[in-house]
Amino acid sequence: MSGLIGRKIGMTSLFDDNGKNIPCTVIEAGPCVVTQVRTEEVDGYNALQLGFDDKKAKSSNKALDGHFKKAGTTAKKKVIEFQGFEEEYKLGDSITVEHFNEGEFVDVSATSKGKGFQGVVKRHGFAGVGQATHGQHNRLRAPGSIGAASYPARVFKGMRMGGRMGGDTVKVQNLRVLKVVADKNLLVVKGCVPGHKNAYVIIQK
């Protein structure tokens, strides 16, 4: 699907016409530069490669410099391919937040916040075992039994246990676009999106 690369600014809230307070996320969407045009004749499929957020010249190598120079732009930090653009774009064109319209629905994907090592209650929603009385002191958030002894005498793969949580690619679907601020390249969507503040996000129609 067509879309843009953006940056999560943070969360706020808006009031609708009925006076209801709606939580929403502000995203800096674009402008993105077309850094490569994929065609069916050459590549076997049609797509646009978009670049977002300028990179320092010393942080880029010569191969990337040459790639971006063909598009007539500077090196970019984030480069993503999108398919499904109805409009015709050529190398070096800029796509702004006006690609989206108020009232339509978008999918937003990003890398979720890393939580580090977490137990089963936080990581998998376990209720915890045992009672808080009868002298019990340290088993309230324990996972309980993880398998049988004599048979199968092992722990099955996929057993929900404590471990590292977060840092995964997460997509939130069907978020309604509440407002498009074209002069500031801002997109306001209903609800929350994954990632920390200033994290890169991919917005797809």
Whether 48 and 34 have beta carbons less than 8 Å apart is answered as: yes
Name which of 117-121, 125-129, 186-190, 198-202 the model is least confident about. Answer: 125-129
Distance of CA 75 to the CA centre of its chain: 22
Beta strands at 105-111 and 47-54: parallel, antiparallel or unpaired: unpaired
pLDDT in tens, 61-115: 899 889 889 888 999 999 999 998 888 888 989 999 999 999 999 999 999 999 9
pLDDT in tens, 159-192: 999 999 999 999 999 999 999 999 999 999 999 9
Q: What percent of the chain has pLDDT over 90?
A: 70
Domain ranges, ordered by start, for the chain: 115-165
Whether 5 and 202 have beta carbons less than 8 Å apart is answered as: yes
